[in-house]
Amino acid sequence: MGVDGMFDYFRQHRILLAPMAGVSDEAFRALCREQGADLAFTEMVSAKGLSYANEKTRHLLALAPGEDQVAVQLFGHEPDTMAAQAAWIEQEMGESLAYLDVNMGCPARKIVSKGDGSALMKEPELAASIVRAVASAVEHPVTVKFRRGWALGDETAPAFARRMEDAGACAVAVHGRFAEQLYRGSADWDVVARVKEAVDVPVIGNGDVRSGADAVALTARTGCDAVMIARGAEGNPWVFAQAKAALAGVPKPPAPDARERIAMARRHARLLARREGKNIVRMRKHAMWYLAGLPGAAAARAKINACVSVEDFDRVFDELLAFLGGHEQEG
């Protein structure tokens, strides 16, 4: 699929779930796809981990229930390793792979300290050589996700995007914060528009999309070809249904009530158990996100942080439902 094919692809896949370490696993992807995400990304996959035949890393590539295709995001800083593992992923996944993305946006210290993620924005020559190597090693499209720039106030994204395009990237995704900002402050959507002007490949806008109205505003303001939602989907897979309706210009679906939020959290826990087994401690953060702002949720925090199994979470959810029933009677 060339660049023209990618423009067509994003006309059909306008709303994407971002790659999020520890979040966008099979369980969460299944719920987001069900709610209207056109495509989801795996958690970011370590090229080095794959090269060591790390089963935990390979596990990240499994499709979610009901998922026909998934995009895979690879991170690393060694062109040969990245190319070899991209080729392995392509061979392993076949038609279930939508495309490969190279992570040049993650600002986490443990990633950038090794020269991976957004640290590559400081090394545009190396970044371009990685993209060239990966694009030469696979037949699937290769995209790159990066930030506004590395240093606070030093916007390099438009020039960086051009270099990635020249190196063979078929599309780019831009997050509107500098790496040094981490997730502080607000995403600057105007940089997405400047990248859109700078390149001739599709541009995906990302950063602070938390509602259908945000998806419409980002698209209108930047002309981006697709919208990528990350933290706005945490505890809120319904954001995809809202974004889909808003972009289509149809009435937005009603927001989930407290009972629907608890029911979704319960389903999420079961999907996670199907993948992880009895120990689903990673559900704790998801449960907190689903229940944020609900009556009784603050008091349930300590109990959630002690949950390990589906049964543990069910007990907390049952208590919250009972509390809600009493709360409504009092009201």
- Catalytic residue numbers read 106
In angstroms, the CA 264 to CA 266 distance is 5
Asked if residue 300 lies in contact with residue 276, where contact means CB atoms within 8 angstroms, the answer is no
Asked if residue 269 lies in contact with residue 313, where contact means CB atoms within 8 angstroms, the answer is yes
204 strand-pairing partners: 173, 226
The dihedral through the CA atoms of 281, 69, 206, 89 has a sign that is positive
DSSP string, 162-211: HHHHHHT-SEEEEEEEEGGGTT-S---THHHHHHHHH-SS-EEEESS--S
Q: List all residues 6 or more positions away from 262 whose beta carbon is below 8 Å from its beta carbon.
A: 290, 291, 294, 317, 320, 321
In a 13 Å sphere around the CA of 79, the CA atoms on its Cβ side amount to 15
Question: What is the four-CA torsion angle of 304, 309, 311, 316, rounded to 10 degrees?
Answer: 0
Amino acid making up residue 70: V
Q: List all residues 6 or more positions away from 184 whose beta carbon is below 8 Å from its beta carbon.
A: 177
Could you identify the residue written with the tokens 């999020």? 20
